[in-house]
Amino acid sequence: MSAVDPHHRPGAEELLDVTDPVGAVSLIDQADHHLAPGVAPASVQDTVHRAAATPHQAQPYRELGLKDDEYARIKEILGRRPTDAELAMYSVMWSEHCSYKSSKVHLRYFGETTTEAMQATMLAGIGENAGVVDIGDGWAVTFKVESHNHPSFVEPYQGAATGVGGIVRDILAMGARPVAVMDQLRFGPADAPDSQRVVPGVVAGVGGYGNSLGLPNIGGEVVFDASYAGNPLVNAACIGVLRSADLHTAHASGTGNKVVLYGSRTGLDGIGGVSVLASDTFSGSESASGSTARRKLPSVQVGDPFAEKVLIECTLEAFAAGLVVGIQDLGGAGLSCATSELASAGDGGMHVTLDAVPTRAEGMTAAEILSSESQERMCAVVIPDKVDDFLAVCARWEVEAAVIGEVTDTGRLVITHHGETVLDVPPRTVAHEGPVYERPLARPDSQDALIADTTASLARPQTGELRELILRMIASPNLCSRGWVTDQYDRYVRGNTVLAQPADAGIIRVPSSSAASGAAVVEGVDAKDDATTVRGIAMATDCNARYTMLDPYAGAQLALAEAYRNVVSTGGVPTAVTNCLNFGNPEDPAVMWQFSQAVRGLADGCALLGIPVTGGNVSLYNQTAGVNILPTPVVGVLGVFDDVTRRILPGIGHEDGETLLLLGETRDELDGSEWANVVHGHLGGVPPRVDLDAERKLGEILIAGSRDGMISAAHDLSEGGLVQAAVEMCLAGETGARLVLPADTGLDAFTQLFSESTGRVLVAVPRTEELRFTEMCSARQQPWVKIGIVDAGNPAGPHLEIQDVATFGLGELREAWEGTLPALFG
Amino acid sequence: MARVAVDVVIKPEILDPQGKAILAALARTGHAGVSSVRQGKHFDLEVDDSVTDADLEEIAGGLLANPVIETWTITRLDGTADGAPHAGAPADAEPEAAL
- What does the pLDDT average to over A463-482? 97
Alpha-carbon gap, residue A594 to A425, rounded angstroms: 36
- A573-582 and A613-619 as β-strands: parallel, antiparallel, unpaired? parallel
Q: Looking at beta carbons, which residues of chain A come within 8 Å of B13? A: 267-269, 271, 297-298, 361
For residue A97, indicate whether it is catalytic.
yes
A331 closest CA partner among A182, A174, A167, A92: A167
Active-site residue, selected from the candidate residues A33, A34, A97, A417: A97
pLDDT above 80 (res A513): no
pLDDT above 50 (res A447): yes
pLDDT above 90 (res A193): yes
pLDDT at A269: 82
pLDDT above 90 (res A740): yes
Alpha-carbon gap, residue A72 to A666, rounded angstroms: 58
ipTM of this complex: 0.70
A534 closest CA partner among A511, A515, A504: A511
Q: Determine which helix (DSSP H) or strand (DSSP E) holds A366, and give its type and residue range.
A: helix A366-371
pLDDT above 50 (res A9): no
pLDDT above 90 (res A171): yes
pLDDT at A127: 67
What average pLDDT does chain A have? 87
CA distance readout (Å), A353 to A269, A328, A345, A371? 21, 18, 20, 15
pLDDT at B83: 46
CA atoms within 13 A on the CB side of A763: 35
* Mutation choice for A interface testing from B8, B14, B28 by most A CBs within 10 A: B14
Q: Indicate the residue of B14, B35, B92 with minimum beta-carbon distance to A302.
A: B14
For A30-85, write each residue's pLDDT tens digit. 333 333 333 344 447 899 999 999 999 999 999 888 999 999 999 999 999 999 99
By the 8 A CB rule, do A712 and A652 touch? yes
- What does the pLDDT average to over A356-383? 93
Name the pLDDT band for A504 (thresholds 50, 70, 90): confident
- What does the pLDDT average to over A660-673? 97
For A261-275, write each residue's pLDDT tens digit. 999 999 988 776 665
pLDDT above 70 (res A648): yes
Q: Do A10 and B15 touch (CB under 8 A)?
A: no
CATH assignment of B2-14+41-89, among 3.40.120.10, 3.30.1280.10, 3.40.50.300, 3.40.50.1000: 3.30.1280.10
**How far is C-alpha A762 from the chain's CA centre?**
29
pLDDT above 60 (res A17): no
Length of chain A: 826
Least confident of A485-499, A598-612, A726-740: A485-499
pLDDT above 90 (res A315): yes
For chain B, the domains span 2-14+41-89
pLDDT above 90 (res A288): no
Alpha-carbon gap, residue A783 to A414, rounded angstroms: 65
Alpha-carbon gap, residue A788 to A722, rounded angstroms: 12
pLDDT above 80 (res A680): yes
Enumerate residues 261 to 290 of chain A having a beta carbon within 8 A of any beta carbon in chain B. Answer: 264, 267-269, 271, 290
Alpha-carbon gap, residue A476 to A112, rounded angstroms: 41
Enumerate residues 11 to 40 of chain B having a beta carbon within 8 A of any beta carbon in chain A. Answer: 11-17, 20-21, 35
DSSP letter, residue A55? T
> Nearest-5° angle of CA A207, CA A211, CA A214?
150
For residue A248, indicate whether it is catalytic.
no
Name the pLDDT band for A515 (thresholds 50, 70, 90): very low
Q: Do A264 and B15 touch (CB under 8 A)?
A: yes
pLDDT above 50 (res A657): yes
By the 8 A CB rule, do A96 and A620 touch? yes
pLDDT above 70 (res A2): no
For A402-412, write each residue's pLDDT tens digit. 999 999 999 99
Query: pLDDT tens digits for chain B (99 residues)?
Result: 889 999 999 998 889 999 999 999 999 999 999 999 999 999 999 999 999 999 999 999 999 999 989 999 999 987 554 444 444 444 343 333 333
Active-site residue, selected from the candidate residues A148, A248, A715, A799: A148
By the 8 A CB rule, do A394 and A401 touch? yes
- What does the pLDDT average to over A368-391? 94
Q: Do A15 and B87 touch (CB under 8 A)?
A: yes
By the 8 A CB rule, do A79 and A73 touch? no
Q: Which of helix, strand or coil describes residue B7?
A: strand
Q: Indicate the residue of B11, B20, B92 with minimum beta-carbon distance to A291.
A: B92
Please state, for a pLDDT cut of 70, what percent of chain A lies above it.
88
Q: Do B13 and A155 touch (CB under 8 A)?
A: no
Q: Which of helix, strand or coil describes residue A566?
A: helix
pLDDT at A161: 96
Name the pLDDT band for A445 (thresholds 50, 70, 90): very high
